[in-house]
Amino acid sequence: MEITPRPWKKWAARRTSHLPEGLEDLVAGIPLDKISMSFNESACSCPVTLAQYIIVTKKQGIDIAKLRGPIQNDPLHARYCGYRPTNPIDLSVRTSTDIIEYCTKQMPLWITGNVNMYDWREMGINAPQEISFGFAVALAYMDGALKRGLDIDDFAPRRGFYCSAHMDFFEEIAKLRAARRMWARIMKEKYGAKTSRSLLFRFGVHRVDPTSQRLQVERVRALKETRNNQKISVALEKLRRESEKGEQVNLMPAILEAVSAYATRGEIMGTIRQVYDYNYDPLGIIESPF
């Protein structure tokens, strides 16, 4: 277990906007290289959120390698804990792995994901099952990152967990102690981790306030009336081509270009979903305008 005192001011953002300008308004005047920003989002669209933050950071003239904070980045959990249509398994592993690979190479201080075991527990399972489901999901992401050629000690220290804490005080203590020992053993014996930081079981809880959905809708409508749709079309076509190249191609660079052109979250994820033969819109209502 790691308890680290941090002099960094921590900010939390939960899907602050479907657009980079909404996030830009939120962090206006805040030195992003001096704080730790937390994004409590788990869906396949996490790369879009991270791309928006990167674009805003670059506008401030800040080196993204100095950015700190976590993004939950756990779409497999989101699939089974309430958001199944938007998080197919193959796309979940790919988008999560893209973030792990990109941040390991470009943003070494960034926490690339926290497996949300809390929501699994709230679905009705018990304490041992919470560890079982949580670890199974965590290992799927680990395996995905290793297939990209990353070294376990390069990214394992920047991974974590959100855990539940129910009323049986002693059972919960035993659960966390067991999880700590099991995780260290898995990292060492299964993956061959060599550094002590890779063996640490980092966990915590998180709370955020809800945001205004109506404001987001108004922002999207206003943007679509003023943006350059031809530029977006080119960026989305490039994203489509990159998506078709297979699992070994990281989509973060193409997503960054689409975000810079002011493509929305839905347009970016819809483009990727179509490559995987899923509906552009998970609900099957909206069709691609490009």
String of DSSP letters for 155-190? HGGGEEEE----S-HHHHHHHHHHHHHHHHHIIIII
CA pair distance 68, 286, nearest whole angstrom: 36
Residue 217 maps to a domain: yes
**Residues 218-271 pLDDT 10s:** 888 888 889 999 999 999 999 999 999 998 999 999 999 999 999 998 999 999
- Of 204, 238, 258, which residue is a domain's last? 204
Position 204 scores a pLDDT of 83
Same domain, yes or no: 66 and 133: yes
* Token pair in block for residue 165: 């804490």
- Of 166, 187, 204, which residue is a domain's last? 204
Q: At residue 273, does pLDDT exceed 70?
A: yes
Distances (CA, A) of 94 to 24, 69, 140, 170, 193: 27, 21, 10, 38, 23
Same domain, yes or no: 244 and 265: yes
* Token pair in block for residue 155: 């990214």
Same domain, yes or no: 37 and 99: yes
Residue with tokens 């700590």: 180
Residue 285 maps to a domain: no
* Token pair in block for residue 31: 């030195």
Residue 290 maps to a domain: no
**Residues 103-150 pLDDT 10s:** 999 999 999 999 999 998 988 899 999 999 999 999 999 999 999 999
Number of domains in the chain: 2
Q: At residue 210, does pLDDT exceed 60?
A: no
Same domain, yes or no: 101 and 234: no
* Token pair in block for residue 260: 């810079």
Collapsing DSSP to helix, strand or coil, 116 comes out as strand
Same domain, yes or no: 176 and 238: no
Q: What is the CATH number of the domain that holds 88?
A: 3.20.20.240
Q: Please, where are the H alpha helices in the chain?
A: 20-26, 46-59, 75-80, 89-106, 117-122, 127-147, 152-155, 169-185, 196-199, 213-226, 229-243, 252-260, 265-275
Same domain, yes or no: 182 and 69: yes
Q: At residue 207, does pLDDT exceed 80?
A: no
Q: What is the mean pLDDT of residues 164-180?
A: 91
* Token pair in block for residue 3: 């308890």
Same domain, yes or no: 68 and 168: yes
Same domain, yes or no: 195 and 221: no
CA pair distance 290, 22, nearest whole angstrom: 23
Same domain, yes or no: 240 and 154: no
pTM, rounded to two decimals: 0.81
CB 18 within 8 A of CB 266: yes
Same domain, yes or no: 58 and 116: yes
Distances (CA, A) of 99 to 44, 122, 272: 11, 27, 15
Angle between helices 89-106 and 46-59 (to 10 degrees): 30
Domain encompassing residue 196? 9-204
Same domain, yes or no: 28 and 117: yes
Same domain, yes or no: 52 and 129: yes
